[in-house]
Amino acid sequence: MSKQVGNVALMQKMNRLRVLNFIRKNPDVSRPVIAEKTGLSLASLTNITTYLLDEGLLVESGIELADRVGRKSTLLRFAKDRWGIVLVALSDSSASVFYTNLEGEISLQLRYTTQNFTYEQVISLLLEKVNFLLAKYGRENTVALGITFSGLVLDGNRFVLSSSMKWTELDIKKIFEKNTSLPVFVENISIIRAVSYSSKASDNRSSNTVFVDLENGVGAVLLYDGSVVHSVLGEIGHTTVEKDGLTCFCGNRGCLEAMCSETRLIQLFNEKSDIPAETLEQISALYDDNNPHAVYAVDECATYLSMGLANLVMLFRPKLIVLNKGQFSMCEQVINKAICGMKQRIYHALVNELDVCMIDVKQDDMVRGAAFEICDRLFDISFENNPIQ
């Protein structure tokens, strides 16, 4: 008997999560539409939405605009202010700590320079600031902590490895859960940026998309029907494109992100020019004036980036490549030349079925993407501490 009751309770919880996540991703939706899309009966749906409204996870957001006779349906949306989230975003030289609602709308941001910090100093600083935000907004009002950075996340979110920050097998999840008593979710920042793009492009997305992140190195994320394929590691930046190339942060030589970076582009230009450049904007302007040293530097970096892009196409056969301009937003010529080079390197038939677009993921986009990903994990049946009973 207890087993049967347990199975009923589990199914009830699954249906509640199913409805909540549908509404979360399709705001301002009526019960009849939810029933149609989820396959649940209106009677079951009424019970589920009543529970979610009582728990403060849904709010009524108006009445549907329908050109028909009869009573119009009430619209529902996710209660984005039900709880808060603390988000930590790390790079090799800075740390930002945010307090947001469940949709990533920022209430407060703290930013610190961490260049030349040891990992102990970084962790100590972050714990201090996270606990400051928890005291300010209330630990009981905060549902999760998210940590995102440039590097590998392995072993069920436990260990992180970051060549740029010199972190090796650091169990950052355990450290923060112990010191905050919150569920902690750790993720690669390129994946978060890809989630940000996908969550906004849900009405116009390819079934098979490669998101290439040119911020903080070179990362690649495979998206299928808008969802991240987590079995693909995506460390295209640490694939070798030059056997005797520059030494990378990771210790290998000739990695893509070592051969194609802002630092490398400026270095290539300054090796040739008597008048050094300090920024990509300068090199971009000189390139447009046909300065031979700028043309050389751009062409050299673009060649290596074209190799990386061509390798991705030959591996995954995407219908769409989305390039987050990142470090090259001030010198888009590198990206444009790389796209042309990529098309020359791949089979002609693949060129014909491939679209490429460039975007610029801003900080606010990244934060919203992080909140979206955290909620996906919080409201998943596999997460044992999810808030739905």
Tens of pLDDT, residues 335-372: 999 999 999 999 999 999 999 999 999 999 999 999 99
Tell me the residue range of the domain where 153 lies: 84-192+365-378
How confident is the model over 189-221, as pLDDT tens digits?
A: 999 999 999 988 655 566 899 999 999 889 999
How confident is the model over 321-335, as pLDDT tens digits?
A: 999 999 999 999 999
CA distances from 183 to 28, 77, 97, 385 (A): 29, 24, 16, 8
Q: What is the pLDDT of residue 305?
A: 97
- Residues 128 and 246 both lie in one domain: no
On whether residue 70 sits in a domain, the answer given is yes
How confident is the model over 256-297, as pLDDT tens digits?
A: 999 999 999 999 999 999 999 999 999 999 999 999 999 999
CA 244/CA 176 separation, integer angstroms: 40
Residue 205 belongs to domain with CATH number? 3.30.420.40
- Residues 188 and 208 both lie in one domain: no
Q: What is the pLDDT of residue 47?
A: 94
CA 366/CA 358 separation, integer angstroms: 16
- Residues 222 and 351 both lie in one domain: yes
Say which residue the tokens 């440039």 belong to. 150
- Residues 36 and 56 both lie in one domain: yes
Find the farthest-apart pair of alpha carbons in the chain and give their distance in angstroms, rounded: 84
Given 55, 78, 101, the domain boundary residue is: 78
- Residues 119 and 237 both lie in one domain: no
Q: What is the pLDDT of residue 1?
A: 47
- Residues 188 and 227 both lie in one domain: no
Q: What is the pLDDT of residue 201?
A: 67
- Residues 354 and 370 both lie in one domain: no
Given 56, 78, 100, the domain boundary residue is: 78
Burial 76-89 (b: 16+ CB within 10 A, else e): bbbbbebbbbbbbb
Can you point out the beta strands (E) in the chain? 29-30, 58-63, 74-78, 84-90, 94-101, 106-113, 142-149, 152-154, 159-162, 167-170, 184-188, 208-213, 219-224, 227-228, 320-324, 355-359
Q: What is the pLDDT of residue 204?
A: 54
Q: What is the pLDDT of residue 203?
A: 53
- Domains of the chain: total: 3
On whether residue 6 sits in a domain, the answer given is yes
On whether residue 386 sits in a domain, the answer given is no
Q: Check if the beta carbon of residue 339 is closer than 8 Å to that of residue 355.
A: no
CA 375/CA 341 separation, integer angstroms: 39
What the block records as the tokens of 91 is 């790079």
Q: What is the pLDDT of residue 103?
A: 96
What the block records as the tokens of 162 is 């970051």
- Residues 245 and 342 both lie in one domain: yes
On whether residue 164 sits in a domain, the answer given is yes
Given 46, 78, 110, the domain boundary residue is: 78
Q: What is the pLDDT of residue 163?
A: 62
Q: What is the pLDDT of residue 157?
A: 62
Residue 33 belongs to domain with CATH number? 1.10.10.10
Read off the DSSP letter of residue 158. Answer: T
Q: Check if the beta carbon of residue 110 is closer than 8 Å to that of residue 168.
A: no
How confident is the model over 220-247, as pLDDT tens digits?
A: 999 998 899 988 888 899 999 999 999 9
How confident is the model over 18-72, as pLDDT tens digits?
A: 999 999 999 999 999 999 999 999 999 999 999 999 999 999 998 877 665 567 7
Average model confidence (pLDDT) across the chain: 91
- Residues 369 and 358 both lie in one domain: no
List residues bridging with 173 in a β-sheet: none
What the block records as the tokens of 296 is 């050389």
- Residues 357 and 370 both lie in one domain: no
On whether residue 231 sits in a domain, the answer given is yes
- Checking DSSP bridges between strand 208-213 and strand 320-324, what pairing results, if any? parallel
List residues bridging with 188 in a β-sheet: 149
Query: For residue 219, which amino acid is it?
Result: G
Choose between 259 and 151: higher pLDDT. Answer: 259
On whether residue 230 sits in a domain, the answer given is yes
On whether residue 354 sits in a domain, the answer given is yes
Tell me: pLDDT of 383 over 50. Answer: yes
- Residues 105 and 124 both lie in one domain: yes
Q: What is the pLDDT of residue 288?
A: 97
Q: What is the pLDDT of residue 296?
A: 97
On whether residue 383 sits in a domain, the answer given is no
- Residues 204 and 347 both lie in one domain: yes
Output the pTM of the full model.
0.90
